[in-house]
């Protein structure tokens, strides 16, 4: 039930975020039209492209290669000749692996005019706070340890709050917090989990 609620909220919020911007003032936005970044993220590396859609909205795309892990339960066949018993038991397993991941995210920035007026802050590299709704697809490429069952492909839907700041003319830092519904193709693992992301990026187009 919780997974269905999150997916429903995702599809309700995403179009609302786009069409509501039609009523925004054009001078409220100082978002960049295009922004390319490459750098490090939590447990991996990534390259991203962010394109301005409307006044306060952008479309964020990302390709990354990262280390991941998942926990799941597996039925195991047990037998005991000493006591004459036989049956199945549930064992909890943890699998760690490297995965390629691709993401698509709609962002709505806010507080643009306030930060632009504040001389103590800079607005370079889309240095604003935002709300977002997005989806990701990942595929595991190598199992490092744990059980031999490979988790396989992963799909997820998330909603989050985020903040992006420029450390200098070249470096940008980004933080996202929210919730995500994830499911794996090869194992019975799915559900709503916390969504946490941190990125340190080098801005390619100044």
Q: Is 32 among the domain residues?
A: no
Residue 23 predicted with pLDDT over 60:
no
pLDDT interval class at 83 (50, 70, 90)? very low
Q: Is 109 among the domain residues?
A: yes
- Give the count of domains, the chain: 1
Please state the pTM of the whole predicted model. 0.71
Provide the b/e sequence for 98-112 (b: ≥16 CB within 10 Å): ebebebebbbbbeeb
Q: Is 44 among the domain residues?
A: yes
Q: Is 124 among the domain residues?
A: yes
Condensed to tens digits (0 to 9), the pLDDT of residues 172-197 reads 899 999 999 988 776 666 789 899 99
Residues in Cβ contact with 116 at an 8 Å cutoff, skipping those fewer than 6 apart: 30, 123
Tokens standing for 105?
């995210």
CA 143 vs CA 67, 146, 148: distances in Å: 10, 8, 8
Q: Is 30 among the domain residues?
A: no
| Residue 166 and residue 122 in contact, taking contact as beta carbons nearer than 8 Å | yes
Q: Is 26 among the domain residues?
A: no
Tell me the average pLDDT of the chain: 74
Q: Is 27 among the domain residues?
A: no
Distinct helix (H) and strand (E) counts, the chain: 2, 8
| Residue 130 and residue 111 in contact, taking contact as beta carbons nearer than 8 Å | no
Residue 38 predicted with pLDDT over 80:
yes
């Amino acid at each position: 039930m919780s997974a269905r609620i999150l997916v429903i909220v995702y599809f309700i919020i995403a179009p609302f975020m786009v069409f509501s911007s039609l009523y925004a003032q054009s001078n409220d936005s100082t978002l960049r039209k295009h922004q390319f970044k490459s750098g490090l993220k939590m447990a991996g590396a990534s390259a991203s492209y962010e394109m301005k859609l409307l006044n306060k909205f952008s479309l964020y795309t990302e390709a990354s290669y990262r280390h991941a892990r998942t926990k799941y339960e597996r039925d195991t066949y047990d037998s005991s000749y000493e006591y004459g018993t036989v049956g199945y038991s549930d064992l909890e397993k943890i699998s760690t692996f490297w995965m390629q991941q691709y993401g698509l995210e709609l962002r709505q920035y806010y507080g643009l005019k306030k930060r632009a007026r504040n001389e103590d802050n800079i607005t370079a590299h889309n240095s604003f706070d935002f709300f977002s709704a997005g989806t990701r697809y990942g595929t595991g490429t190598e199992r490092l340890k744990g059980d031999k069952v490979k988790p396989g492909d992963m799909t997820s839907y998330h909603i989050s709050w985020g903040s992006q700041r420029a450390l200098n003319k070249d470096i940008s830092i980004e933080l996202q917090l929210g919730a995500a519904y994830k499911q794996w193709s090869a194992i019975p693992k799915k559900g709503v989990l916390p969504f946490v992301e941190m990125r340190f990026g080098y801005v390619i187009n100044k």
